[in-house]
Structure 1
Amino acid sequence: MSRADTAASQVLIATDLDRTMIYSQAAIGGDPSGSDLDSAPSPLCVEYYNGGPLSHMSVESIELLTALSSRVPVIPTTTRTIAQFQRIDLPGGPWKYAITSNGGNILVDGEVDREWRNEIDRSTSKSGAELPQVQAELESRIDSSWVSSIRVADDLFPYLVVDLAVMPSEFETEWNHWCVTRGWNVSRQGRKIYTMPDAVSKSRALAEVRRRLVESGDLDQSAVVISAGDGALDADMLEYSDFAIRPRHGELEELNWQRPTVTVTERSGIAASAEILRWFSSALG
């Protein structure tokens, strides 16, 4: 938001990135019956990885997000690691606040907020098992016949990339049963299975950013919070918000996840991003 604005904002916006604002080449089309890209300008690349294009935005979405972020606080909110987020040339920046690592990190002017990260680490430690124990137990339950990689995101949580066709049918249920009694939870998004500390969530981090913006006078105490996201790890953020929107694709669509305060787009694929941004803009009046 421009520092020239004299009144605190009445709206705070948080948005997921992958398959909500930005799209891989494979995800651009979404459901052909809900996407109308034939007459639209070609999407522009906003992220390169190893020299090749990785993520894209529509021209309309770039224009809308840039305009929106000049009017109200917009918080990019992603499960990506810090490094993965920083690869994106996201229009509308620079960002005063961004939430990465599914809420495990808050970036302030691009730098990790150590106070928040220390609080997350303390909360995780108090709630049950710590990362080394969880990682060791997870590794004892998997093998290379169905797991192509296991990674740890920002020293916060592990996630697997799996072959769903040969993954043991009982793995998710049994692994989740072990985790829930130890302060962790399990969710799957596509081929990725995340094992997340209960202390780490997008809604918790968003509430902290909201508190700080109110305290600094950049956000009115009565401001409305609106958000967008497509995945299971976005659900808590969508429920925390006063109003929210999700695209007609992704894990929440597959689950037919519905809430009275959550709108579903008409479009799917990259066309949904502009629809989401128009919906955000309409909330500003």
Structure 2
Amino acid sequence: MLFASDLDQTLIYSRKSFRSEPAEEAIRLIETLEGREISFMTRKGIDLLKQAAEETLFVPVTTRTIEQFKRVTLFPEEIQTPYAVTSNGGNILRDGKPDEDWNRFITGELKNGLAREEMLEKFQEIVHEEWVLKQRTADELFSYCIIDRTKVPAELQGFTEWLDSAGWTHSMQGRKLYFVPKPVSKWAAIEYIQKTEGERTVAAAGDSLLDLCLLENADYAFAPKHGELQEQGRNSIETIYRTEQEGILASEEILAQVLEKARQEANVVS
């Protein structure tokens, strides 16, 4: 079984997103940046993830850039992952190096759609420094902004409707607003890996609208009881298992459920 999981606010968490108060000895720091603590998992969650990586083809799937993904010290120091999907599906790392065949495919797909520069030119019509604090491009594939959510204008809804018709999607996660071309998707990358490896079933976990394509196409889908899917009312989809726990403890629950499904699948095959 292939297990594809989002990282931030699905498996790994900043202190601000814990949504509980685990004892310090129960958590472990797994990411730093310039001396600052960034992300954590519970020790139990790490143990469960190690088991999942042994019993499934585990593939981290993240909107992070390649550079940002490599900050997470679990990979590959403690958990070996033959594949990792970064940049929301725009890049596939195979044994730590970009898959050139996938990169050629994505480059060709993007040539057929609205260019990022044209999308951003349209976005500038509603941009104001009061709510858009920073604008960034990720791996030359998509764009995101750091925003003040309390000051987002009503005009954003009209822009996102136009965006959808123009072949792009959006996602608002915390203080980040993402604009991603539809060919750059987590499921497309996972489907490529599934076919390459000949895996029969896929389990997937995620918390945001950018994870929805994964969850809708997986054989087993898991979402934490928080995050953008919850805020948008999308956790009501019957095929998605919603955790009882919120925050960092939801990671443990998701991993335990994945292990249960993996063992059931192994018994069926044997």
TM above 0.5, yes or no, is yes
Q: Residue deviations 1:52-95, cap 9 Å, x none?
A: 11100000011111122122200000111111101001265221
Equivalent residue in structure 1 for 2:239, among 252, 257, 261: 261
Contact 2:9 2:207 in 1 (8 A): yes
Structure 1 equivalent of residue 100 of structure 2? 114
Structure number having the greater helix percentage: 2
User: Following TM superposition, by how much is the alpha carbon of 1:182 offset from its aligned partner in structure 2, in angstroms?
Assistant: 2.4
Structure 1 equivalent of residue 123 of structure 2? 138
- Does residue 277 (structure 1) correspond to residue 255 (structure 2)? The answer is yes
| Backbone CA RMSD of aligned residues | 1.6
Contact 2:171 2:208 in 1 (8 A): no
- Does residue 238 (structure 1) correspond to residue 238 (structure 2)? The answer is no
Spell out structure 1 runs of 4+ moving beyond 3 A.
Answer: none
Structure 2 equivalent of residue 170 of structure 1? 155
**Count of aligned pairs between the two proteins:** 260
Map of 1:205-224 to 2, 5 A cutoff?
Answer: 205-214=189-198, 219=199, 223-224=200-201
Q: In percent, how many aligned pairs have the same letter?
A: 36
Letter of the 1:135 counterpart: L
Structure 1 equivalent of residue 30 of structure 2? 46
Q: How far apart, CA to CA, are the structure 2 residues paired with 1:189 and 1:198?
A: 18
Q: TM-score normalised to the size of structure 2?
A: 0.91
Gaps of 5+ in 2: 264-270
Gaps of 5+ in 1: 1-10
Q: How far apart, CA to CA, are the structure 2 residues paired with 1:255 and 1:134?
A: 24
Q: How far apart, CA to CA, are the structure 2 residues paired with 1:158 and 1:70?
A: 35
Local SS of the residue matching 2:92:
strand
User: Following TM superposition, by how much is the alpha carbon of 1:260 offset from its aligned partner in structure 2, in angstroms?
Assistant: 2.1
Map of 1:15-164 to 2, 5 A cutoff?
Answer: 15-28=5-18, 30=19, 32=20, 37=22, 41-90=25-74, 92-126=78-112, 128-164=113-149
Local SS of the residue matching 2:150:
coil
Instruction: Between 111-120 and 200-209, report the one with greater CA deviation.
Output: 111-120
Letter of the 1:73 counterpart: L
Structure 2 equivalent of residue 8 of structure 1? none
